[in-house]
Amino acid sequence: MTEIIVIILSSLGALFILLAAVGIVKMPDLYLRISVTTKAATLGIGLILLGAGIYFSDTAILARVIAIIVFMLLTAPVGAHMIGRASYFTGVKMWKNSKIDELEGKYDTKSHKLKSED
Amino acid sequence: MSVYDYLYYIILPILAVSILIIFIRFLIGPKLSDRVVALDLLLTTGIGIIAVYSIITNQPAFLDIAMILALIAFLGTVAFAYYLEKREKND
């Protein structure tokens, strides 16, 4: 029973990581790439790690695995936001078919402060 | 087919192919930011490989290394973002 669960979890995890890998090559601009890789890779890694935690069937290892998963869930959005913000400031262009850029003209290029619309 | 065979002959090759595909983006990425994102994803996939490898070898101690690698990946991304922004300010 445990083996079947481990096989299912690791298959799903590997599938999501493969999708993230295809996405980072096929997506047209940086922001879409960040969007793809953060979500898909975090889900895939979480599933694979959960499979490892279930396979060993030990509470200490399961707790360690859950700590890693929670850490990944906390840090992946923060890192993606920071690199996206930095690349927006350094002038990385959006895809030509992108419809809307809500930050355009709303931040100060010198101090990097966001102007609020009153 | 045991868990060992399944992981060794199917899951690990899938992850290895993913690493190769991500490495394409790491090489061609037009801007530095693309390379940073690709590097982050490479390290994340490395965590997955370590987890699968710890099941194959039956060594749960490898999961500690996965935790350290997650820390280093986050730290690297944050440091790259910080210095990218700082470089832009100084120009």
- Cα gap A96→B13, rounded to integer Å: 36
The domain segmentation of chain B, as residue ranges, is: 1-87
pTM: 0.88
- Residue in A3, A22, A33 closest to B37 by CB: A33
Q: Which domain holds residue A95?
A: 2-114
Check: complex ipTM more than 0.85: yes
Gap between the terminal Cα atoms of chain A:
60
Under-50 pLDDT residues of chain A: none
How many domains does the structure of chain A reveal? 1
Determine the pLDDT at residue A2: 86
Q: Does B21 or B1 have the greater pLDDT score?
A: B21
Residues of B in contact with A91 (CB under 8 A): 88
CA-nearest residue to B50 within chain A is: A49
Q: Which of A24, A51, A112 sits opposite B41 (nearest CB)?
A: A24
**How much is the pLDDT for A8?**
93
State the burial class of residue B63 (Cβ atoms within 10 Å of its Cβ: 0-12, 13-18, 19+).
buried
pLDDT tens across B26-67, in order?
999 788 889 999 999 999 999 999 999 999 999 889 999 989
Dump pLDDT digits (tens) for A14-24: 999 999 999 99
Look at B77 and A41 and tell me if their CB atoms are within 8 Å. no
Q: Which residue has the tokens 């965590």?
A: B47
Q: Are B40 and B73 in contact (CB under 8 A)?
A: yes
